[in-house]
Amino acid sequence: MFKKPLFWEMFIFLVITGTLNYIATIYNLYWSLKEFDSVVHFCGGVFVSLFFLWFYFYSGFFKPVKKNLARFLTISILGTMFISISWEVYELILGEAMMQKSAYPFDTTLDLIMDFLGASAACLYAYLRNYES
């Protein structure tokens, strides 16, 4: 499992995302540095995308027939958007986000865009890495 492609990259982005979130929570960086949230969402998008790609293509739970760009994009983007939208709903349920605030639609849209960009970057990296081997 540890020697499978994408595992260590996925693990590194998990640690980066977790560390950034921990630091942001302790020092209130999400409220004092507006761009910090975007960086964490980008890293989270990379992690989630790499997780879904690793799980589908390399974990051994599935037997993928084709490893083409369309399949990489489908697994990466759909998996990441599912988790991203679920996370936004989770924030609403917890009360972390308030729909009454005028910045809510902009903030949520930016979060989803950053997750998408992170997933796209990870997908491209994973596909090119697969293509080389």
Q: What angle do CA 13, 71, 43 make, to 5 degrees?
A: 15
**End-to-end Cα separation, the chain, in angstroms:** 18
Q: What is the DSSP track for 114-133?
A: HHHHHHHHHHHHHHHHHHH-
More reliable by pLDDT, 132 or 34:
34
**Global pTM?**
0.91
pLDDT on residue 31: 85
109-130 average pLDDT score: 96
Q: In the predicted model, what is the mean pLDDT of the chain?
A: 91
CB 49, CB 73: distance < 8 Å: no
Q: Collapsing DSSP states into helix, strand and coil, what is residue 84?
A: helix
Distance CA 10, CA 125 (A): 12
More reliable by pLDDT, 110 or 96:
110
pLDDT at 133 over 70: no
Distance CA 65, CA 58 (A): 12
Least confident of 6-20, 53-67, 92-106: 92-106
Kindly indicate the confidence band of residue 1, based on its pLDDT and cuts at 50, 70 and 90.
low
Kindly indicate the confidence band of residue 103, based on its pLDDT and cuts at 50, 70 and 90.
confident
Query: So where are the chain's domains?
Result: 7-132
- pLDDT tens digit string along 63-95? 888 889 999 999 999 999 999 999 999 988 887
Distance CA 19, CA 64 (A): 33
